[in-house]
Chains A and B, each alone.
Chain A
Amino acid sequence: MSNETQSAKTRWLLLSPALFILSIAAAGPLLIVLVYSFLTAGDYGGVVWDFSTDAWFNVFAEKDFFDDTIGFSDAHLSIFWRSVKLSLMTTIVALLVGFPTAYFIATRPESQRNAWMLLIMVPFWTNLLIRTFAVMEIIRNEGVINSVLIKIGLISEPIQMLYTEFAVTLGMFYVFLPLMVLPVYASMERMDFSLVEAAYDLYASRWRVLKRVIFPLVKPGVVAGSILVFIPSLGAYVTPRVLGGGKQLMLGNLIELQYGQGRNWPLGAALSITLLAIVMVALIFYVRAAGDEETSHG
C-alpha cells in the first residue's frame, strides 16, 4: 500500500467522528424538516405522508376565512418584519456598546485584561432564563426603574416597558452582548497600537484615527460579532416570549406555535426553512459588502 493512500485513509478516519456527528445532528434533521414542509398536517400534530404545498403557500399567503379569496398573510409578514427589525436593532446597539467596551479592555495593561473579560463573560455563563427574568425584574411596572422614578416623583404612573419591542431588544442586547465584545476584542488585541500613535502623529484627530485606522483594522472582528449577534437574535425564542409577552412574537415563537398549539408541523417546518433562507441571504449580502469595501482600499 502506498504512503499516499495510507495517509488518505488516516485522514478520513480522523474526520469520521465529526462527519458522523454533523450528518446525524445537522444534515439529517435539516433534511427531515425540508421533507416535512411538503407533507400534510396530522390532526393531533405530526404529519400525514401526503404530498402538499399548503404549508409553503401558508407561509406568505392566506385564504380568506369566508370567501376563499387569497391575500398576503399580514400576520406572518409583520412577524418576519419585526424579527428582522429587532435583530438589526439588537446588532446595532450591541456594536455601539460592545466596540467601546472592547477598546477599553484592549487598552488596559495586559495583567488586567483577563479580569475585565471575566466581567463580560460571567453573565454569559448564567442561565438564559434567569438573565431574561432579571431584565424583566428591572423594567416591569413594579420593577426597579419604575419604582425609583415614582419614589423620586419624576413620574406618577409607571412607564410601560415590559411587553414592548423595546423590552425584547433590550433583553436580546443584554443576552448577546458578549458575542459582540469577544470577537471585536480579539481583533483589537491583535492590532498594533503603534499604528494608532502613527496616525495621531500624522495629524489625525481622535475621530479620524478611529475611522481611518482602528475601524478598518478590527473590521473582521466587527463582521464576526455582528453575525454572531444577528443570527441568534433572528431565531430568538425565550427572550421575546418572556419580555414580549404574547404581543411581540418573533419568528422563533411563531415556529414554536405551529409545532405546539397550532398542530401544523408542515407550516412550522416551512417557516424554519424560511428563517434559514433569510439568514443565508443576509450573510451572503453582509459578507460580500464587507469584502467589497476591503478590496476597494487595495
Chain B
Amino acid sequence: MIEIAGLSKTFGSGASAFTALKDINVTIQENEFFTLLGPSGCGKTTLLRSIAGFVDPSTGTLTINGEDILSKPPFARPVNTVFQNYALFPHMTVAENIGFGLEMQDRPKAEIKSVVGDMLELVQMTQMADRMTSQISGGQQQRVALARALAPKPEVLLLDEPLSALDFKLRKEMQIELKRLQAETGITFVFVTHDQEEALTMSDRIAVMNAGRILQIGGPKDIYDHPAERFVADFIGDTNFVDGEVKKVAGETAQVQLQSGKVIKARNVAGGATSGPVTVAVRPEHADLSAPGGLIDGTLKNIIYFGTDTHYHVQTDDGSTFVIRRQNQPDAVEAHEVGEKVGVTFNAGVAQILRD
C-alpha cells in the first residue's frame, strides 16, 4: 500500500519557481492498477518520479507498506520503473538486461538464471534471450523493459507512459498484456498516461491530474459517468456542457432548471453548488434526438457517420452546440436530415452537476 500525504514539489525559487505538485493526497491499494491521467505538464510524471526517488519532494510524506521511503535513495526503494524510452542497457543482451536488477541485489547465479528464464517466458521473449537490445523491435524492447522491472519482484511497478512509442495496434495488444501481467504477478502498478482511453480500459482506479493537483480519484466508470469538475468531464471522453440553475438539492440529486425553462434531475457531487447557476455535463451517447419540444430545442447542423456510430450536431436555440451520438444498426435508414428542427432529450440522472 502506498500512502502519499501533503506531497508538494516546487522547482527553482523566487520569481522563477514552478510548482509541479500541490498537496497530493492519495492511497494506492495493494495489487491495484492505479493510473495517473492528465495532460503533459500536469505533474503526473513528477509524482511518479517522486515515488521512484528521482525527484525529492519539497513537503509531504510518502510511505510504502508503512515504511517511509522519502529518505531512501532510488536503489534502496522497493519499486522498479518502466521508462518511457525503455532505457535498456545497449551494451547488454536481453537476458543480461532482465537479470541486471537481481545481479545488483547479489542474488545467487542459479536463482538469477531461473528468474530470467521465467521472465523471458512471461513476456514471450525466450527466443530473443541472447540478442542485443538494438537488434529487437520497439514492441520487443517494451517487453524486455517490463521483464527487467518485474524480475526483482518489486512491491510497486511504476510505468511512465510505456506505450506511447508504440503504434496503434501494438499499443492495444500491450494494454491487454499489461493487464495480464499485473493479474499474474499480483504487483501494484502505478501507470502514467495522457491517453484517456488507455486509462479507462486498463485501470482499477484513475487519478485525474491537472496543474499539479489531483482533481478526482475513482474507478473508470465513476470518472466517466460522474466527472466532478469541468476539466475532468472535458478531458475524458466527449461532453456537452449545459448551463442551468439549481432549484432544489436532495442528497445526491438536484433539480436544475435549464435555459429552455425545463427542469431536469441531475446528479450532484459532494461540495457542489446548492443554489444558483451551474454547468451540467451530459455525455453524447446518453442523450437522444426527439421532435421539437425536448429538454433543449435547436436545429440539426451536421450528421457525421463514424462507422460504429453517427454523431448529430445540434445548434441549440441559445447558440451553443450539443452533440448526440447514436449507435448504428445494420442497414438502418437515416431518419433525420440537416436543417431539421429537433429536440434533445436525456434521461433523469444522466446529467452531472460540475464543481467549478
Is B85 in contact with chain A by the CB < 8 A criterion? Answer: yes
Residues of A within 8 A of B148 (CB): 202
Query: What number of A-B contacts does a CB cutoff of 8 Å give?
Result: 66
- In the complex the two chains form, what is the Cα distance from A195 to B89 in whole Å? 7
Is B343 in contact with chain A by the CB < 8 A criterion? Answer: no
**Cβ contact within 8 Å between B80 and A201:** yes
Is B90 in contact with chain A by the CB < 8 A criterion? Answer: yes
User: Given A194-B83, A194-B85, A298-B132, A201–B91 Cβ distance below 8 Å?
Assistant: no
Name the one of A198, A204, A205, A212 contacting B83, with C-beta atoms under 8 angstroms.
Answer: A198
> In the complex, which residue of chain A has the Cβ closest to the Cβ of B96?
A297
- In the complex the two chains form, what is the Cα distance from A199 to B81 in whole Å? 10
Q: How does the 8 Å CB contact mask read for A140-172 relative to B, with 1 for contact and 0 for none?
A: 000000000000000000000000000000000
Is A121 in contact with chain B by the CB < 8 A criterion? Answer: no
Residues of A within 8 A of B76 (CB): 203
Residues of A within 8 A of B90 (CB): 195, 217
User: Given A216-B91, A217-B91, A298-B132, A200–B74 Cβ distance below 8 Å?
Assistant: yes
Q: How does the 8 Å CB contact mask read for A72-114 relative to B, with 1 for contact and 0 for none?
A: 0000000000000000000000000000000000000000000
B335 smallest CB distance to A (angstroms) = 56
User: Given A192-B87, A194-B83, A194-B85, A203–B75 Cβ distance below 8 Å?
Assistant: yes
**Cβ contact within 8 Å between A203 and B89:** no
Is B57 in contact with chain A by the CB < 8 A criterion? Answer: no
Is A288 in contact with chain B by the CB < 8 A criterion? Answer: no
**Cβ contact within 8 Å between A197 and B75:** no
Is B101 in contact with chain A by the CB < 8 A criterion? Answer: yes
**Cβ contact within 8 Å between A202 and B152:** yes
Residues of B within 8 A of A194 (CB): 83, 85, 87
Is B92 in contact with chain A by the CB < 8 A criterion? Answer: yes
Is B73 in contact with chain A by the CB < 8 A criterion? Answer: yes
Residues of B within 8 A of A216 (CB): 91
Name the one of A197, A203, A204, A294 contacting B87, with C-beta atoms under 8 angstroms.
Answer: A197
Q: How does the 8 Å CB contact mask read for B29-68 relative to A, with 1 for contact and 0 for none?
A: 0000000000000000000000011100000000000000
Is A213 in contact with chain B by the CB < 8 A criterion? Answer: yes
B91 smallest CB distance to A (angstroms) = 5
B154 smallest CB distance to A (angstroms) = 9
- In the complex the two chains form, what is the Cα distance from A200 to B149 in whole Å? 12
- In the complex the two chains form, what is the Cα distance from A12 to B83 in whole Å? 49
Is B105 in contact with chain A by the CB < 8 A criterion? Answer: yes
- In the complex the two chains form, what is the Cα distance from A23 to B273 in whole Å? 89
Is A9 in contact with chain B by the CB < 8 A criterion? Answer: no
Is B231 in contact with chain A by the CB < 8 A criterion? Answer: no
User: Given A194-B85, A202-B104, A203-B101, A297–B91 Cβ distance below 8 Å?
Assistant: yes
Name the one of B52, B53, B85, B100 contacting A199, with C-beta atoms under 8 angstroms.
Answer: B100
CB-contacts of A198-239 with B (<8 A): 198-205, 208, 212-213, 216-217
Residues of A within 8 A of B73 (CB): 200
> In the complex, which residue of chain A has the Cβ closest to the Cβ of B131?
A298
- In the complex the two chains form, what is the Cα distance from A64 to B92 in whole Å? 59
Residues of B within 8 A of A298 (CB): 91, 93, 132
- In the complex the two chains form, what is the Cα distance from A192 to B83 in whole Å? 12
- In the complex the two chains form, what is the Cα distance from A194 to B52 in whole Å? 13
> In the complex, which residue of chain B has the Cβ closest to the Cβ of A202?
B101
**Cβ contact within 8 Å between B75 and A192:** no
**Cβ contact within 8 Å between B85 and A192:** yes
Give 24 A-B contacts (CB < 8 Å), ordered by A residue: A192-B85, A192-B87, A195-B89, A195-B90, A197-B54, A197-B81, A198-B81, A198-B89, A200-B53, A200-B54, A200-B73, A201-B53, A201-B79, A201-B81, A202-B75, A202-B100, A202-B152, A203-B152, A204-B104, A213-B89, A216-B91, A297-B92, A298-B93, A298-B132
With A202-B75, A204-B100 known, 16 other A-B pairs at CB within 8 A are A192-B87, A194-B87, A195-B89, A198-B81, A198-B87, A198-B88, A199-B89, A202-B80, A202-B104, A202-B149, A202-B152, A203-B75, A203-B101, A203-B152, A205-B104, A217-B91
Q: Which 8 A-B pairs have the closest CB atoms?
A: A202-B101, A198-B87, A203-B104, A200-B74, A194-B87, A204-B104, A216-B91, A201-B81
